[in-house]
Amino acid sequence: GYGRSDGDKQTIRSYPGAFIQEIIDCISPTTHKVYCLIGSSQGAAAVFNALVEKPAISSFLAVQNPVSHDPQRFVCIKQPALLMYDTDDDGHPVSVGRLVKKYIPNNHYYEFASSKQPKWLEHNAHLKLLQLFNEYDANNNTTNALSLQLTASSKISLPSLPACVSVAGGIISYLSSYNREPLYRNSKEELESILSAYENQSVQNDDLFVEKIEPKRIEDDESKAQRLATELAQTQCDLCNQHISGNDMSKSLRLPDCRHLLCYSCCCETIKLNSYECPVVGCAMKLNVPSSQLSLYSLPFSSDNEKHIIIQFGNSCKSISSSSQRYEYTAYVECKTTNVIDSVSFDINPGYPKSAIRVSKAPYELVRIMNLEFTCHFIIQWNKALNWPKLRITYHVQNKQDSFTRNLLVRIPNQDNTMAKSHKTREEVVYNWTDRDRTKPNINYVVLSYD
Ligand SMILES: [Zn+2]
Ligand SMILES: [Zn+2]
């Protein structure tokens, strides 16, 4: 039928092909194809219609008591089909079923009378399905089918089915559907044991839980033209949502891969300083902006009344042994403008400030062998003569391939002598890198002053 999923129940009826394709893309991201589509009643109508529309999405189909309009359309369905009709069900007349049987050439066709055999489907459907697979699938021999049949409830066996194996998501989703699925309680225990069986299996089944990398889809000329037309019509910045006027459009930037559009002032505030990733929240596409492009933008603060220093921080990460999953992390801080750093303390245990490791000569870095990412605050002391407050960057070492880098603009207001020596040296300004709000673009600057 329509099932009990959330959302608009008419979708499966109005757009069966698109709807089923979307599900298939999720559970079978490499092949975009499933082994068998199974439908009941209205769901069966969706299976028929989807296969008429998109013949390649499934190798088999199976339906019970299907709704079917204009069955002559089904002549194009070449998949082996399991067709099961209840002769006592006037809502899904068997007369239509006999037509469907005629139009779909490769079929296993069954009629039963629910008045005499009320549990015919429960007792037979799964066996008929295996028989169908057995007859038409060259890779799926009898032993496989038998072992599947015998072990389905007790042990997980993975027959020679294609790569649509991301069952975990479906089970997890079902397990969290308390209110919608009345029978959920009956199967909860069994499903949880299936799930834990998968989780406890060794490496070869890890792919049940990882997202497959989808091959890059090649854009055809028509959709490219369409995309470019849409992009040309866009007058709103994807980051700040402000309207970009015609004059300013030439100064805005269309990022090459994610196609996000950034207005001039957003470019100044974000990629001018950190051109590593797209700043649009949730995107984070890796960027490679040429420096000639970056030179078109200026920092968003005038340097008339303040001094600007650019600090770069981050870490590199390399695997030191394939078996033990241990990594050599090098956390570092560097002054990209004229060096005014006196020393950097690497505080990997912020609860115990005394334990910070102080490095008083460039390169300011700390090497650690660790299994996991770890907290590492950077406490920067400036040249004594400057009498600036210390700067603490609350960093968390990242386990990224190769390296992770960020630039920070440190703004020091020109205040003549107000940064007097009377200030206690332990005062510090904190730049919260780890606590940053992930729903907003990262703030790339900090103001260094005693108030
Ligand atoms: Zn903007
Ligand atoms: Zn983007």
* 434 Cβ contact list (under 8 Å, min separation 6): 375, 394, 395, 396
Token look-up 């001018």 returns: 272
For residue 317, the SS3 value is: strand
What is the chain's Cα-based Rg? 31
| Cα-to-centroid distance, 276 and ligand 2 (Å) | 11
Give phi and psi for 408, each to the nearest 5.
-130, 130
Could you tell me the two tokens for 28? 């079978």
Distance CA 244, CA 191 (A): 53
Token look-up 């609350």 returns: 394
* 339 Cβ contact list (under 8 Å, min separation 6): 362
Q: What is the pLDDT of residue 435?
A: 67
Lateral strand order in the sheet of 402-413: 364-370, 326-335, 306-321, 402-413, 445-447
| Cα-to-centroid distance, 334 and ligand 1 (Å) | 29
| Cα-to-centroid distance, 93 and ligand 2 (Å) | 53
| Cα-to-centroid distance, 237 and ligand 2 (Å) | 11
Distance CA 334, CA 337 (A): 9
Could you tell me the two tokens for 88? 């006592």
Which amino acid belongs to residue 196? S
Identify which of 218, 150, 158, 207 has the alpha carbon closest to the alpha carbon of residue 29: 207
| Cα-to-centroid distance, 446 and ligand 1 (Å) | 20
| Cα-to-centroid distance, 257 and ligand 1 (Å) | 18
| Cα-to-centroid distance, 258 and ligand 2 (Å) | 5
Distance CA 342, CA 377 (A): 16
- Environment of ion ligand 2 (residues, CB < 5 A): 258, 260, 278, 280, 283, 285
| Cα-to-centroid distance, 130 and ligand 2 (Å) | 47
ipTM of the complex model: 0.93
Q: What is the pLDDT of residue 410?
A: 94
* 160 Cβ contact list (under 8 Å, min separation 6): 137, 139, 140, 144
Closest ligand, as measured to the CA of 242: 1
Number of Cβ atoms within 10 Å of the Cβ of 133: 24
Q: What is the pLDDT of residue 177?
A: 64
Distance CA 26, CA 20 (A): 10
Yes or no: say if 281 and 439 are a contact pair by the CB < 8 Å rule: yes
- CATH superfamily of the domain spanning 306-447: YEATS domain (2.60.40.1970)
Which amino acid belongs to residue 363? P
Yes or no: say if 28 and 163 are a contact pair by the CB < 8 Å rule: yes
Residue ranges per domain, the chain?
11-164, 221-294, 306-447
Closest ligand, as measured to the CA of 248: 1
| Bond into 363 cis (ω within 30) | yes
Distance CA 362, CA 368 (A): 18
| Cα-to-centroid distance, 439 and ligand 1 (Å) | 15
| Cα-to-centroid distance, 288 and ligand 2 (Å) | 12
Taking each helix axis from N to C end, the angle separating 42-53 and 16-27, rounded to the nearest 10 degrees, works out to 80
Closest ligand, as measured to the CA of 243: 1
The CATH code of the domain at 11-164 is 3.40.50.1820
Q: What is the pLDDT of residue 311?
A: 95
CATH topology of domain 221-294: Herpes Virus-1 (3.30.40)
Give phi and psi for 357, each to the nearest 5.
-100, 120
pLDDT along the chain (451 residues), means of 10: 67 88 81 89 92 92 91 92 93 91 93 93 93 79 43 37 50 64 70 68 46 61 86 92 90 91 93 90 86 88 90 92 80 94 94 88 92 90 91 90 87 71 68 75 84 69
| Cα-to-centroid distance, 48 and ligand 1 (Å) | 47
Q: What is the pLDDT of residue 310?
A: 94
CA atoms within 13 A on the CB side of 437: 4
Q: What angle do CA 133, 136, 141 make, to 5 degrees?
A: 65
Distance CA 413, CA 61 (A): 71
* 118 Cβ contact list (under 8 Å, min separation 6): none
Q: What is the pLDDT of residue 290?
A: 86
Token look-up 């067709």 returns: 83
| Cα-to-centroid distance, 254 and ligand 2 (Å) | 9
Sort 393 into a burial class: Cβ within 10 Å, 0-12 / 13-18 / 19+.
buried
Closest ligand, as measured to the CA of 253: 1
Lateral strand order in the sheet of 390-393: 357-359, 341-347, 377-382, 390-393, 428-431
